[in-house]
Structure 1
């Protein structure tokens, strides 16, 4: 598998990006419009937040799923039995937000959502006609009016050696949503599974933007755009002593949007949550 880095400003960026999404489930962009100075600031201030006791003032809401998720209540990936070695904070436009950090993450949520509309236009434009005909509405419209798009600020703490045997930073999983937008994290470790079942490193230079297909877009496109398994490896050596901060934006359509003859967004999401019940 080859993951090309596509120049967002190139005249062939839309088709190059969508070709990568179709073939691998992932696309990598450089020279994209997201503010990298803002991203670095978010990484810095949220690392300090996760190292403080302030995070415990915002315990996760088991109904709304906003707030802080400690390692004890972190995720267990589908078909895995060990919790991931991570903690995170869920940010929704309507949700709780820490007073201890700036509003940069909220501004990033808005910027990323705006960029998503452009990327979804590309995806639709370069879908084959028979795939495009299956979309219940233009892809960017699926996000209009949705308040479910989630920004997750992730902290993978340094490894201590006391982790549960077999536990990893993020076990192999696919995303549930439409698209995921992810600035390159502070440390490497992200891998994607290729068609031969082999793990391949995802480019991770600072300033790159990684985009991957979620299960909902795979469903809506009749699997033309595949939702591929990915994971975050445990580092070794000196890298194991470093934190890793990651900032995925999970793009979720309105619940009433029709994905396919089988599912609406709401019915699909509820089915997946039943599968994952007890993993938070």
Structure 2
């Protein structure tokens, strides 16, 4: 059985210090130990965050029959709406208590990745939805590139190493809605324990209590950023690339305390991905001399499809 603890040990750093070696070390050490860090001064304007939150709430307030117009049957949840009660954590039987909407990268006609990256879907009922979330997508993309540069410095590889690996990557921005809980939920929680598939995740909206990570000691640690701060965590793709040096940590969103149960929870994670044809194979300097990598090489796209099947989105 695990216990819940709170701690200030997860790094909380300013991205304005991104060129400082001390920043690289604090960030990287936190990823090694916890798989998580908290970042402020990340460059995503607060007025854009506020506008995006308002648009997301407006969208999720639409009737279910309207939202289902934007659900793509057989699309694996890659774009548009995924209704309540579908996504299920790997290995779990109880579905998560959430619904969400996915926005991906806009690609020009003729781009080779259009074969595997679907076009976006835009709800016509929410004025300014497309413009707001394309702007936020780009802001997430820029912040993610800065964080990856710091990670490259920590790993002692070329600081620009990641730029090509994520160029036109299959990154997805998720608008999340966890409805109020006015009835018993049984074995279901807002998001069951899971690890993220992608390279790194940048999360806005985690200041509402509920997000927890699982430590090496088997204890659940509350992750509690201040309003507007980004929570960053390592995904399975980067864990494979670093041969396990950087941890993809199990995390969950637990149900609210009774005094908050009548409140909905909203958040916006950005799942930053490698480009679809990038081969994920362990970096040489992350594999001890005389040992073999922990995982075999696999393309980013093939790995994504494998994992989507496990969580019942494909």
The question of a shared fold, defined as TM-score above 0.5 by the shorter chain, is answered with yes
Q: Secondary structure at the match of 2:280?
A: coil
In the TM superposition, structure 1's runs of 4+ consecutive aligned residues that sit over 4 Å from their partners are none
Aligned equivalent of 2:28: 18
Q: Retained in 2: the 8 A contact 1:186–1:244? A: no
**Unaligned runs of at least 5 residues, structure 1:** none
State the SS of the aligned residue for 2:247: coil
8 A Cα contact 1:27 1:210, kept in partner: yes
Q: How many residues align?
A: 271
> Is 1:205 aligned to 2:226, yes or no?
yes
Aligned residue for 1:235? 256
Query: Partners in 1 of 2:241 and 2:203 — Cα distance?
Result: 22
Distance 1:101-1:153 versus aligned 2 partners, 3 A rule: farther
The 1:87–1:274 alpha-carbon spacing in structure 2 relative to 1, beyond 3 Å, is: closer
The equivalent of 1:87 in structure 2 is 99
Q: 1:14 to 1:61 in 2, by over 3 A?
A: farther
Name the CA distance, whole Å, in 2 between partners of 1:138 and 1:154.
Answer: 31
CA distance in 2, matches of 1:150, 1:264: 17
Query: Which residue pairs with 2:108 in the alignment?
Result: none
Q: Mind listing any 5+ residue stretches in structure 2 that lack a counterpart?
A: 1-6, 106-118, 282-295
Inter-partner Cα distance in structure 1 for 2:95 and 2:309: 17
In 2, distance between residues paired with 1:92 and 1:206?
Answer: 25
**Aligned residue among 103, 108, 119 for 2:136:** 108
- 2:161 corresponds, among 123, 135, 138, to 138
The superposition leaves residues 198-225 of structure 1 with CA deviations (integer Å, 9 ceiling, x where unpaired) of 0001123202111100000000001110
Change (3 A) 1:232 1:7: same
Instruction: Find the aligned partners of 2:269 and 2:16 in 1 and give their Cα distance.
Output: 22
Q: How well do the aligned residues superpose, as a CA RMSD in angstroms?
A: 2.0
**Cα deviation code 1:158-205 (max 9, x no counterpart):** 002143x11000000000000101123362210111110100011232
The yes-or-no answer on 1:188 pairing with 2:198 is no
**TM norm structure 2:** 0.81
Q: Is the 8 A contact 2:206 2:224 kept in 1?
A: no
- Residue 112 of structure 2 corresponds to none
